[in-house]
């Protein structure tokens, strides 16, 4: 009996051992299978990311047989046919090819940006990119009503950038999937002649181009000569006290052009000629206000008035008009915008403002749209003090930013930045000195790569709170290409010296300065600015046209 029990007990032990070994084998197999699955997936993703980087170094992108900087848009059309959508931006023309999951950006027929949202790209996650290449060289953001994205920028070569665009990580999704990628080349790299020009400029010459200065009096002075020939400024703004009669104004501008003809680059010669009550040019009848145009809501009339403004500018010898106003006049107590706005509705301001802008541009005169990110809801005048607006980005996107976003898509060349404080976006600096507003929102989110300039830095909104030297440095650091200093030569000198010192000390990089100067010189080249003099203005004809436009 004992022997029988022992045998049974031994069988139980054997069975238990077999079960334990089998379970260990199964666990081991599951572990191996899991690890194998992980290894199979991870190298596949890593391999795809590596391939994207390898192609980007050559200016290429997966699933698109083109080379950035070498392929022409005609070659794209020959292979892919006509695009499904076309957008004219200030930086380039972008064409969408929906069946190819691609967008092609081109400038002067040369492809400078290729984007892909192919299914294979959209299988890559944030962690896959970080495992292969680590931290990005730069990180940007883009947000609108539909998306909240991050942009990882990698400098893959001296010529090309690779950008990964994907949703921002959240607690629910810490490892988001890629939306699309983009291989681009710096525009300045696409234009070797422009690079050579920058290389041949001194730091002082570059910073001079970034200054738009005011002058005193109605005649050419030694101070004006100093600004042109010694300080080598990029442009001059004129006010009513500079241009009191027609012949005197033409003589002043011709003398300035004569002085400028020995310089490397012609000057921007600008004035606030908006129509309505903000009309600086002497001898002319007054055009309707933007508010009156808005009440008629006539896009053709708005374009024709813009075209006439351009004619007025050329007749006197100017090449840049600080117009139109794209502020939505949402605050009836606004002391500075009022009837300068096309109205209280963003869509009307957008449509009519853009038509005026295009009308000005049609006369080969530069249009400066203003005052970003929107001066329409202020209750104080920035000439006298710093306005404060308690709005966040979502608020601005619903109203104030709409006309500017539309203008950018329709080819705005220059945007002027207002002096307003938006503490919910940037509690430390007014918009004209705010990196968040200029570099993050205007450049990053709205993708504007044209010329950005400040409003007059000698307004009390700035000088009542900051030293002109510090304010000018902060304005450049924020992303402005041009610092406008309309009054007092001493202020201009302080600004120039401060920016030079900031570059020499490393506070501002010379690359940052080069980016601005490239944009400025590109704009001057685009409009073929010259020092050609004006003989006389046909005031009678201009006034007759004004009467017709006014319906009189």
- The residues annotated with a catalytic role in the active site are 383, 455
Alpha-carbon dihedral 535, 272, 346, 289, rounded to 10 degrees: -80
Look at residue 144 and give its three-state secondary structure: coil
Is-cis flag, bond preceding 373, omega within 30? yes
Cβ atoms of 308 and 545 closer than 8 Å: yes
Which are the contacts of 256, defined by CB distance < 8 A and separation ≥ 6?
220, 224, 228, 236, 267, 269
Check: CB of residue 327 under 8 Å from CB of residue 376: yes
Query: What phi-psi label fits residue 239: left (phi over 0), alpha (psi between -120 and 50 degrees) or beta?
Result: beta
Q: Are 401 and 373 in contact (CB under 8 A)?
A: yes
Task: Please report which helix (H) or strand (E) contains residue 540, including its range.
Answer: helix 539-549
CA 522/CA 451 separation, integer angstroms: 9
CA distance 454 to 415: 8
C-beta of residue 220 within 8 angstroms of C-beta of residue 252: yes
CB-count burial class (<10 Å; 0-12, 13-18, 19+) for 202: exposed
Half-sphere exposure of 518 (CA within 13 A, CB side): 21
DSSP string, 378-444: -SS-TTTS--B----HHHHHHTTHHHHHHHHHTT--EEEEP--B-TTT-SSS-GGG-HIIIIIIIII
């Amino acid at each position: 009996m004992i022997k029988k029990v022992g045998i049974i007990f031994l069988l139980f032990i054997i069975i238990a051992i077999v079960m334990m070994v089998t379970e260990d084998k199964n666990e081991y197999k599951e572990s191996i299978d899991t690890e194998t699955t992980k290894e199979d997936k991870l190298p596949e993703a890593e391999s795809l990311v590596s391939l994207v980087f390898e192609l980007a170094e050559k200016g290429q992108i997966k699933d698109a047989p083109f080379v950035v900087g070498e392929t022409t848009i005609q070659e794209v059309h020959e292979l892919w046919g006509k695009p499904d959508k076309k957008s004219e931006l200030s930086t380039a023309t972008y064409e969408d090819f929906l069946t190819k999951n691609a967008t092609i950006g081109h400038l002067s027929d040369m492809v400078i940006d290729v984007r892909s949202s192919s299914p294979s790209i959209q299988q890559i996650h944030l962690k896959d990119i970080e495992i292969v290449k680590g931290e990005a060289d730069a990180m940007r953001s883009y947000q609108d009503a539909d998306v909240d994205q991050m942009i990882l920028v990698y400098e893959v070569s001296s010529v090309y950038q690779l950008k990964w665009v994907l949703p921002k990580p959240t607690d629910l999704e810490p490892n988001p999937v890629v939306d699309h990628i983009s291989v681009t080349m710096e525009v300045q790299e696409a234009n070797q002649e422009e690079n050579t020009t920058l290389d041949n400029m001194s730091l002082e010459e570059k910073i001079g181009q970034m200054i738009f200065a005011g002058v005193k009096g109605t005649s050419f002075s030694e101070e004006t000569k100093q600004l042109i020939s010694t300080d080598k400024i990029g442009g001059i703004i004129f006010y009513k006290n500079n241009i009191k009669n027609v012949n005197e104004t033409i003589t002043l501008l011709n003398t300035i052009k004569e002085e400028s003809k020995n310089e490397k680059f012609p000057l921007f010669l600008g004035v606030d000629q908006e129509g309505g009550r903000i009309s600086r040019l002497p001898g002319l009848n007054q055009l309707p206000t933007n508010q009156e145009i808005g009440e008629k809501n006539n896009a053709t009339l708005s374009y024709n008035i813009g075209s006439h403004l351009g004619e007025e500018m050329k007749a006197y010898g100017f090449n840049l008009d600080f117009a139109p106003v794209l502020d939505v006049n949402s605050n009836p107590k606004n002391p500075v915008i009022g009837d300068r706005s096309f109205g209280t509705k963003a869509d009307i301001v957008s449509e009519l403002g853009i038509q005026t802008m295009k009308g000005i541009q049609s006369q080969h005169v530069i249009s400066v749209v203003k005052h970003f990110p929107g001066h329409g809801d202020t209750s104080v005048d920035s000439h006298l003090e710093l306005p404060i607006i308690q709005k966040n980005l979502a608020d601005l996107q619903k109203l104030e930013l709409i006309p500017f976003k539309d203008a950018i898509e329709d080819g705005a060349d220059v945007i002027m930045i207002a002096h307003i404080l938006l503490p919910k976006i940037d509690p430390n600096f007014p918009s004209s000195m705010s990196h968040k507003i200029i570099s993050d929102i205007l450049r990053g989110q709205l993708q504007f790569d044209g010329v950005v300039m400040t409003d007059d830095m000698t307004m009390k909104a700035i000088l009542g709170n900051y030293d002109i030297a510090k304010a000018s440095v902060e304005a450049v650091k924020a992303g402005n290409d041009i610092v406008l200093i309309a009054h007092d030569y001493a202020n201009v000198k302080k600004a120039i010296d401060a920016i030079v010192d900031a570059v020499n000390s490393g506070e501002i990089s010379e690359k940052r300065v080069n980016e601005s100067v490239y944009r400025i010189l590109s704009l001057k080249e685009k409009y073929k600015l010259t020092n050609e003099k004006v003989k006389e203005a046909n005031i009678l004809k201009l006034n007759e046209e004004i009467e017709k436009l006014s319906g009189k």
